[in-house]
Amino acid sequence: MKEVIDTVSVALANGETENVGNAVMQEVNRTLVSAGVDEVWADKIDNLIVLLFIIGIALLANIICRKIILRVVAKLVKQTKATWDDIVFNHKVMVNVSRMVAPILIYIAIPIAFPEHADSDLLDFLRRLCLIYIIAVFLRFISALFTAVYQVYSEREQYRDKPLKGLLQTAQVILFFIGAIIIISILINQSPMVLLTGLGASAAILMLVFKDSIMGFVSGIQLSANNMLKVGDWITMPKYGADGTVIEVTLNTVKVRNFDNTITTIPPYLLISDSFQNWQGMQESGGRRVKRSINIDMTSVRFCTPEMLEKYRKIQLLTDYVEETERVVEEYNKEHDIDNSVLVNGRRQTNLGVFRAYLTNYLRSLPTVNQEMTCMVRQLQPTETGIPLELYFFSANKVWVAYEGIQADVFDHVLAIIPEFGLRVFQNPSGEDLRRIGVKIDSKDSILYKRYILLTIIDYEYTYTQPDYP
Q: What is the pLDDT of residues 368-387, one digit of tens each?
A: 999 999 999 999 999 998 99
3 state SS for 417-444: HHHHHCCCECCCCCHHHHHHHHCCCCCC
Q: Can you give 400-419 as a three-state secondary structure string?
A: HHHHHHHHHHHHHHHHHHHH
- C-alpha dihedral sign at 395, 294, 244, 218: negative
**pLDDT at residue number 39:** 60
CB contact at 8 A, 345 and 295 = no
Instruction: State the burial class of residue 90 (Cβ atoms within 10 Å of its Cβ: 0-12, 13-18, 19+).
Output: middle
Assign residue 196 a region (left: φ > 0; alpha: ψ between -120 and 50; beta: otherwise).
alpha
Cα–Cα distance measured from residue 433 to residue 331, given in angstroms and rounded to the nearest whole number: 45
Query: To 10 degrees, what angle do helices 121-154 and 164-187 make?
Result: 180
pLDDT of residue 315: 92
**Per-residue pLDDT, 3:** 44
Q: Where are the beta strands (DSSP E) in 57-189?
A: none
Q: Which contiguous run of DSSP H or E holds residue 247?
A: strand 242-249
Rg (CA), the chain: 43
Residue pair 438/453 in contact by the 8 Å Cβ criterion: yes
Query: What is the distance between the alpha carbons of residues 55 and 50, in angstroms, rounded to a whole number?
Result: 9
pLDDT at 13: 42
Dihedral pair phi/psi, residue 391, rounded to 5°: -100, 120
pLDDT given for residue 14 in this prediction: 47
Strand partners, 395: 288, 369
What pLDDT is attached to residue 412?
94
Q: For residue 357, what pLDDT is reported?
A: 94
3-state secondary structure of 16: coil
pLDDT of 148: 79
Contact partners, residue 256, CB within 8 Å, separation at least 6: 235, 237, 242, 243, 244, 245, 246, 247, 263, 264, 265, 266
HEC secondary structure over 336-388: CCCCCCCCCCCCCCEHHHHHHHHHHHHHHHCCCECCCCCCEEEECCCECCEEE
Q: Which long-range contacts (CB under 8 A, 24 or more apart) does 339-344 make?
A: 343/303
At residue 199, the pLDDT reads: 65
> What's the rounded Cα separation, in Å, for the pair 42 and 23?
15
Q: Are residues 123 and 117 in contact, defined by beta-carbon separation less than 8 angstroms?
A: yes
What is the pLDDT at residue 307?
A: 92
Angle between helices 121-154 and 91-98 (to 10 degrees): 170
Q: How many other β-carbons are positioned within 10 Å of the β-carbon of residue 383?
A: 11
Residue 461: closest CA among 440, 436, 433: 433
pLDDT for 321:
92
* 261 phi-psi bin (left φ>0, alpha ψ -120 to 50, beta other): left
Q: What is the pLDDT of residue 1?
A: 43
The SS3 assignment for 277 reads: strand
Residues (pLDDT < 70) of the chain are 1-47, 81-91, 113-120, 157-163, 166, 198-204, 206, 224-225, 431, 433-434, 437-470
**Residues, the chain:** 470
